[in-house]
Structure 1
Amino acid sequence: MLSDNHELLKKLEELFRIEFIGNYEDDTCSVKKVGITNRIIKDLDDEQLCFNLKEFKECVQQLSNMKQVDELLIYDKKNYEVVALQENRKIPFFRSDISISNNEISYSFGKVSFTFLLHLISIVNKTEINHLIRMGRRSWIDESLKLENGLYNFNELLCDSLRLYSIKISTEKESLNENNINKYETSYKFHLAYNLDITLIPQRFLEEILGSNRIRSMREEDIQDLDIPKKFYNEDIVSHYILAISSDNLVIQYLSYYHVIEHFFNKISDEEITSCFRDIITSENFSYKKDKDIMRAVDKIKSFYMKKIIDDDLNYNEFDSLKLCLKKYIKIKEDILDKITAYKPELIDFYKNNTVYFSEGDKVNLNNNDELNVISTLAKRIYYTRNSLVHSKDGEKKKYEPFKHDKYLIKEIPLLRFIAESIITQESKII
């Protein structure tokens, strides 16, 4: 088999259910479909497909000299590429690359290169590539990809059909290094934002582009299978939830889900105070005729309001409200453990064994049978992380640095999403 010449060829065959036919030394080879192929080539016959071996070998050679900084960021001394999304969606998918250049350097934003696609193939599994294919699905094949001989180049079909876009930087001199690649990228992003009002958001990790597909796979809902809504939901918290879902910005996602929880802090605190006061004045040993009993009730209520000055940033009461909110609305197994397991099971051990890097949010053992302990550590993990996102002052407090800490923050998003969803559904009313 042709794929015996290279592991990447074997993986391409496995992921896309094809077989390469020909000699590895040739410039091109045939592509044969094996079994039920995915949507990229399902409407094409074997006779319509070819694979550019020459390009493959050149890209493999280039890739061997490139460094991987994050999952979706690679570079060498003359080339840099990172997956990026348009936050304001002002560039249609079919538009040509946005390119600017001079004799020394070129910048562009457009479909990922074949070199990058080979890098992506090398790090994904079959489930992940299927998610990517579903994300990029289209009902037609771009006829401009057809070669002069009437065949379709499988290399180009892959890059086009996945519909992943990237920022690319190329230099004539070997001037790129780990100390300046982010500076070049930032210059290009600001240039487009300032002059064209186009915002590019780098996506450095697979989870940033696969997360929504994991959710859809969990729920296995297709549009034709959806029933009509059966409940009315709180409009304010649904607005925060939708903002989180619609944003590509991890900070906005996290804080928007947090706002769903935060919405009920005052209500939860008032309920706790009311319950405590009711217990005191209805107890058998309470008498409204005794001053000491009245003062005991007053002191108890006072203590609730004094909690806010215990913590050094005057926010203890908010943390306490967060714990009360989680205690009221969340069943650890049904609302978090089971859902995280279905979403991405390895996160269970991650939360158990790792604090949040930039906030020092606590480790959380979701399998712990002591639910109150889980609630307490979960509240600390959430609250410390929230504070790191909103505090921008230098000093002792841990703070979040955009892009640098994205790979840590992205792991916290599912936790907040499932909590927010549980609260929204519990606060709903039957229509």
Structure 2
Amino acid sequence: MATFYEVKQLLCRLFGHRDIEDNDDDITVELRSYRGECENRQIQISNTELLELYNKVSAMDNNSLELYSENTYETAVDLDHFIMRRQEFPLTSDDSINGISYEVGYPTAEYSLYLLMLIKDAMNQQQGRNSRIPPMRLRRPFERYFGEGENTLETILPKMIGEFSLKIVNTSGNYKSLNILRKMKTSFEFEFMYKTGNSLVEFLDILDMFPMDNGIRSRTSETQIDTPPLRKYTEDVVDYYKQALASNDPYIKYISFYHVMEYFYDEVFKRKMVTDLKNKITHPDFSYKDEDKIYEIAMFVKNRLRMNDETGQGNELESLKYVLNEYVSVDDLKARINIIDSNALNYYQNNKVAFCNASVIGWSDSQGVFTQLAKRIYFTRNSLVHSKSGKNKERYRPYQDEKQLQLEIPLVKAVAEAIIINSSEII
């Protein structure tokens, strides 16, 4: 990890000092023509305060872009500049029952300094003369970091970083492990995305935030969330959901939402298989001495497990139907789809999926609705992932069928959300 003097040199360089000696002097920042004023201004950054902050950060635990202690957790999130301008930050959410608070906004001074330490480490790993040049995004006019009022490390460093973070504060003292804090982060991220329809994307590493090659990275927009999460969600499926929302490509969206459903196939299929088999062997009509009954059990298992090579349906279609039955309420699903797209319910009821002829959904058919849901979703998925030339009538053609596929997104999005929520646990 970068030393104190390395970080201090980086700060000095960003404030316009080229040759800096390793000493304990305060940092003097010259503000020229400050906000149109004719006279220059000088601001002092205390070496003592900077050293205290550095020692505090060094004593905290970290993992890549995560900085945490027993009671705090902070990680960088990518917010679109347009959203940053139009929203009021910080966005806060307090769970007074469990003693947890969440905040999306400018990073703390501790986290900001930690990121500068990571940036300096990345610079040290560069070869040649570029090893002394900070990332382009930090080489902005530094006057913007300073306001008209009191300027301290707590106000300067977050503005210098120019990105936002997700902060979790554990006021109860009951949740001290990193694993628990990450689960809380996952819960917040899902509910943020669920309520806003926008992806909450974490940076991958410091080079993702501050590319050393001065490349331009893409951004994803976010907006406000107002209530704390009260459930623990499965992290893997939230990642699929996040990937779906982060993409503008309906193909990637559909496949990512489908992965949420597929995640539970084996678990739910096995549970259904065991339950049905128990019911059969404990039924009063069953006798292990009756060969016909034994053979009936064997055929039941065989038929349940078989795979139909011709259609490619087999276990997956049955598993999807079991997952839908277990985690999805039709009434709740219809309500959620209607929120996402008010025309979608009627469309699914009266129109097949044009490029694969997947079935319509009879919402009032209480007996067959799950079968119809499963077939529409699964046949569409097959059309996306299979591209055999002999099945042109069932094959998805990029660009040509994109608008039709876009119409299916509200359905799989709402189904994925229902599965994520109903497979979760209450905190």
The TM-score with structure 1 as length reference comes to: 0.47
